[in-house]
């Protein structure tokens, strides 16, 4: 009989989440948590997405019928569609300069396929200080990805729209695998889309009682599952959630 004790080990998603947290903490960011059941106010209104705003269609939402202690502002309950409410809660209770990240589960009411799950993990970052600009954002993100992929990367910022930032950008990194040459991971473009980001919208700062004339900041967010898929070359996100030991045991 085999007397060796069998030990469990860390799931690849948890491993990636702790690596992300480690890299940002080296840059002075604190890891902050928040509730997965949120109010409409924190998930949408405070982030400059009021009711009837067409941008609400960007997030297919699981609404909850249950009443809860959180429901204090005549605001309906939902499963958070992004980790951004954590930023609002933190900014309400802490004065700048601020430097936080949050990593956690988020939920979208959508069909699952190889690149979409109804539940996934997001990493979100926020920095508020005097005199911040997109250049600071670019520096932090580049540092992060070079440590995460363990390769030199270039960044490409493309204009984009998210209601809580102005201007908003999509961030691409040059392919860490082929160095911008062209391979299957970058779909033969040399670039990989990794995050949405931007300068915090003045209305979001006002919503938490900060004067946008005094304080500037940036925020960024991306999928932890997606980063794990890229790092480990996994092409179907559902594999992370099947409990199939043939996948998990590759990460001993």
Name the site residues for Zn ion (rule: CB under 5 A): 175, 177-178, 183, 185-186
Q: Report the residue number, 27 or 178, with the smaller CB distance to Zn ion.
A: 178
The beta strands (E) that lie in the chain are given as 30-31, 37-39, 77-79, 98-107, 119-129, 155-160, 165-174, 191-200, 216-223
Q: Report the residue number, 15 or 177, with the smaller CB distance to Zn ion.
A: 177
Could you confirm whether 73 is annotated as catalytic?
Answer: no
Measured between alpha carbons, how far is 169 from 211 in angstroms, rounded to an integer?
Answer: 23
Could you confirm whether 215 is annotated as catalytic?
Answer: no
Helices (H) and strands (E) in the chain, counts: 7, 9
Could you confirm whether 66 is annotated as catalytic?
Answer: no
Nearest residue to 64 via CA among 90, 43, 49 = 43
Q: What is the CA radius of gyration of the chain?
A: 19
Q: Report the residue number, 88 or 186, with the smaller CB distance to Zn ion.
A: 186
Which residue lies nearest Zn ion, judged by its C-beta?
A: 175
Could you confirm whether 118 is annotated as catalytic?
Answer: no
Could you confirm whether 82 is annotated as catalytic?
Answer: yes
Q: Report the residue number, 50 or 190, with the smaller CB distance to Zn ion.
A: 190
Could you confirm whether 121 is annotated as catalytic?
Answer: no
Tell me how far CA of residue 172 lies from CA of 120, 125, 156, 157, 224, in angstroms: 20, 17, 5, 6, 15
Measured between alpha carbons, how far is 178 from 188 in angstroms, rounded to an integer?
Answer: 9
Catalytic site residue from 46, 165, 169, 173: 165
Measured between alpha carbons, how far is 113 from 93 in angstroms, rounded to an integer?
Answer: 39
Shortest spacing between CB 181 and Zn ion, in angstroms: 6
How many CB atoms are located within 10 Å of the residue 99 CB?
18
For the annotated catalytic residues, the residue numbers are 59, 82, 108, 122, 165, 219
């Amino acid at each position: 009989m085999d007397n060796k004790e069998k030990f469990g080990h860390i799931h690849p998603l948890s491993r990636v989440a702790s690596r992300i947290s480690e890299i940002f903490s080296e840059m002075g960011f604190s890891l902050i948590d928040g509730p997965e059941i949120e109010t409409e106010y924190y998930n949408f209104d405070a982030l400059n997405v009021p009711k009837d705003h067409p941008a609400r269609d960007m997030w297919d939402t699981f609404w909850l019928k249950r009443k809860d202690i959180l429901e204090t502002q005549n605001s309906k309950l939902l499963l958070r569609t992004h980790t951004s409410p954590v930023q609002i809660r933190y900014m309400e209770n802490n004065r700048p300069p601020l430097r936080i990240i949050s990593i956690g589960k988020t939920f979208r009411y959508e069909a699952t396929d190889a690149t979409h799950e109804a539940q996934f993990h997001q990493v979100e970052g926020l920095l508020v200080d005097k005199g911040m600009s997109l250049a600071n954002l670019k520096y932090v993100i580049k540092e992060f990805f070079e440590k995460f992929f363990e390769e030199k990367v270039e960044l490409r910022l493309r204009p984009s729209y998210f209601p809580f930032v102005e201007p908003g950008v999509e961030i691409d990194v040059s392919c860490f695998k082929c160095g911008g040459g062209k391979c299957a991971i970058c779909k033969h473009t040399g670039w990989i889309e990794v995050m949405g980001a931007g300068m915090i919208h003045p209305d979001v700062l006002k919503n938490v009682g900060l004067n946008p004339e005094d304080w500037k900041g940036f925020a960024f967010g991306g999928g932890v599952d997606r980063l794990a898929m890229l790092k480990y070359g996994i092409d179907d996100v559902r594999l992370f959630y099947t409990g199939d030991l043939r996948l998990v045991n590759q990460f001993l």
